[in-house]
Amino acid sequence: MGTVFLGLAEKGKETRVYKQFHPWARDAFKRQVSQSALNLVRQALGG
């Protein structure tokens, strides 16, 4: 669970960063972040 909360805290920082990108880059970055978050959750759950 700690990993999930840490991920949410990091996502807040990343949100401020990728607001500076062009929309297409922002969408790609969001997808990458979402995929990384899913991978972290799977690892945390032992999957």
What is the predicted pLDDT for the residue at 15?
61
Write out the residue range of the structural domain in which residue 6 sits.
2-44
Tally of CB atoms within 10 A around 42: 10
47 secondary structure, DSSP code:
-
pTM given for the model: 0.41
* Residues in contact with 30: Cβ distance below 8 Å, sequence separation at least 6, in sequence order: 18
What is the predicted pLDDT for the residue at 29?
79
pLDDT digits (tens, 9 = 90+) for 3-40: 555 555 566 666 665 556 567 777 887 888 899 988 99
What is the predicted pLDDT for the residue at 46?
86
What is the predicted pLDDT for the residue at 24?
72
What is the predicted pLDDT for the residue at 20?
60
Residues 28, 15: Cα–Cα separation, whole Å? 13
- Total domains in the chain come to 1
